């Protein structure tokens, strides 16, 4: 009887892990915010049908922030939500989700630029929206289309064709999916959950690692973006930096972020709506695994824990927020994954998470851009160091700062910090708004 109950629980755990990974870990081409904007516009254009005459996109402040300065693959010298929305409307394939712009060619870019120069494209800021909100309106010679993406980067809330609702998704707040289940699990339950990882999910996670490793190598070899990954490789070669797991992780992560933020035409495996978070998790573990010659199945389990914890933390801090998700959410996930990779138990995971939170909470997100590679290298060192300290029994004591006696309460404290930092976000957005978008009243 006991064996039957265990078997049933294992099957349930396996299904839950698979659902979470299916929803949260996905390929993305370019930065996820411009990709989500393009996806919304592509859906609106499909609903309108015909030749595109004008495009309008209304964005929440944080989506605007992350779409304002990052290049789009195949598009040179143009950044911002306008070009993303226009390309999505003209050539986007909504079936590809966050790889919606995969089929864009040079003539499409020229046509998009012409529409923008003719004043046919508008981007506006929805000042009262909190959480991800992308509302695209496309007018063609045949009609009008509208699409709204809300909550998650590929969650379609509604589509209209000539004013008639043709698709109505679930309201974001009422979603009862695997993410919702994950948000209500305790950290200890998540740690135990990954013991039930199926072979096909292991293979999926390891393929994601390989995808991100490929873009890292490209970024380093071609000195893309800021060239931070190439610089770090040079410093190791000159023996100015140690050839250790921390240096390798920083080099790989920076190389991948350099390439991605530089607009390379290569996908990454994203997690919790962020390609940089996916890069950070996978390549931190890849570096540690190589130095410690870890087995691939152990790497897969560590990856699963990292992805799940990152998504769990984001459910408290917010999908998009003033806190840099790569440093704190992915930092927590990666550090716990390193502990698991090194054979640590749950108490070591708790210690590692405390160390990360006590170290780098408060790093702000000032938008997706070339400079993200520098923040990621800072976070990589913190995450691995936190794990190594934890393995030696060293951790920030409960009661210091926001570190609580309970690790779950400590994670909940991050929600309060994230909420308090909305004022910081407003100030930063004011700086961006002085350069960019008009503000509009929110509306459906």
Pair type for strands 52-59 and 267-271: unpaired
Question: Do residues 396 and 371 touch, judged by C-beta distance below 8 A?
Answer: no
DSSP 8-state symbol, 195: G
Q: Mark out the alpha helices in 163-319 (DSSP H runs).
A: 178-183, 187-193, 199-221, 228-237, 245-261, 275-292, 296-317
| Bridge pairing between strands 439-440 and 121-126 | parallel
| Non-local CB neighbours of 319 within 8 Å, separated by 6+ positions | 131, 132, 151, 152, 272, 273
Query: How close are the terminal C-alpha atoms of the chain, in Å?
Result: 55
Tell me if 142 sits within 8 A of 48, measured CB to CB: yes
The DSSP H or E segment spanning 156 is strand 156-161
Write out the chain's pLDDT in tens, 444 residues: 444 444 678 888 899 999 999 989 999 988 899 999 999 999 999 999 999 999 999 999 889 888 888 888 878 778 899 999 999 999 999 999 999 999 999 999 999 999 999 999 999 988 777 788 999 999 999 999 999 999 888 889 999 999 999 999 876 554 457 888 899 999 999 999 998 899 999 999 999 999 999 999 999 999 999 999 999 999 999 999 999 999 999 999 999 999 999 999 999 999 998 999 999 999 999 999 999 999 999 999 999 999 999 999 999 998 888 899 999 999 999 999 999 999 999 999 999 999 999 999 989 998 889 999 999 999 999 999 999 999 999 999 999 999 999 999 999 999 999 989 888 878 887 887 676 555 555 555
pLDDT digit string, tens, across residues 355-383: 999 999 989 998 889 999 999 999 999 99
Domains of the chain: 30-175 (3.30.1330), 185-430 (1.10.4100.10)
Condensed to tens digits (0 to 9), the pLDDT of residues 198-226 reads 999 999 999 999 999 999 999 999 999 99
């Amino acid at each position: 009887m006991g064996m039957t109950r265990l078997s049933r629980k294992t099957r349930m755990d396996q299904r839950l892990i698979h659902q979470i990974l299916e929803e949260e870990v996905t390929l993305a081409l370019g930065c996820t915010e411009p990709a989500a904007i393009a996806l919304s516009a592509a859906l609106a254009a499909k609903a309108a049908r015909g030749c595109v005459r004008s495009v309008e996109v209304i964005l929440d402040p944080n989506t605007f922030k992350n779409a304002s300065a990052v290049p789009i693959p195949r598009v040179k010298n143009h950044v911002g939500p306008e070009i993303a929305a226009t390309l999505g409307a003209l050539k986007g394939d909504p079936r590809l989700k966050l790889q919606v712009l995969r089929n864009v060619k040079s003539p499409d870019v020229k046509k998009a630029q012409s529409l923008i120069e003719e004043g046919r494209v508008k981007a506006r800021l929805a000042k009262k929206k909190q959480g991800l909100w992308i509302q695209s309106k496309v007018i063609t010679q045949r009609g009008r289309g509208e699409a709204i993406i809300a909550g998650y980067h590929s969650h379609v809330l509604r589509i209209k064709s000539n004013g008639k609702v043709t698709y109505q998704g679930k309201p974001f707040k009422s979603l009862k999916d695997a993410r919702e289940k994950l948000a209500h699990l305790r950290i200890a339950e998540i740690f135990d959950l990954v013991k039930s990882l199926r072979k096909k999910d292991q293979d999926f996670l390891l393929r994601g690692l390989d995808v991100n490793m490929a873009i890292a190598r490209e970024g380093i070899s071609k000195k893309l973006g800021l060239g931070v990954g190439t610089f770090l490789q040079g410093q190791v070669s000159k023996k100015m930096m140690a050839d250790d797991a921390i240096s390798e992780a920083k080099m790989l992560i920076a190389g991948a972020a350099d390439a991605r933020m530089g607009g390379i035409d290569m996908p990454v495996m994203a997690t919790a709506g962020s390609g940089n978070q996916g890069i950070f998790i996978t390549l931190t573990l890849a570096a540690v695994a190589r130095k410690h010659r870890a087995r691939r199945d152990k790497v897969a389990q560590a990856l699963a824990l990292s992805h799940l914890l990152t998504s769990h933390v984001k459910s408290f801090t917010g999908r998009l927020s003033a806190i840099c998700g790569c440093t704190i959410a992915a930092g927590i996930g990666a550090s716990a994954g390193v502990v698991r990779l090194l054979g640590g138990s749950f108490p070591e995971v708790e210690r590692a998470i405390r160390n990360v939170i006590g170290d780098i909470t408060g790093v702000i997100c000032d938008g997706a851009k070339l400079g993200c590679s520098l923040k990621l290298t800072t976070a990589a060192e913190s995450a691995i160091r936190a794990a190594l300290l934890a393995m030696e029994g060293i951790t920030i004591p409960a009661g210091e700062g926001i570190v609580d006696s309970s690790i779950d309460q400590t994670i909940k404290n991050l929600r309060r910090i994230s909420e308090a930092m909305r004022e910081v976000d407003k100030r930063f957005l004011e700086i961006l708004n002085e350069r960019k978008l008009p503000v509009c009243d929110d509306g459906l």
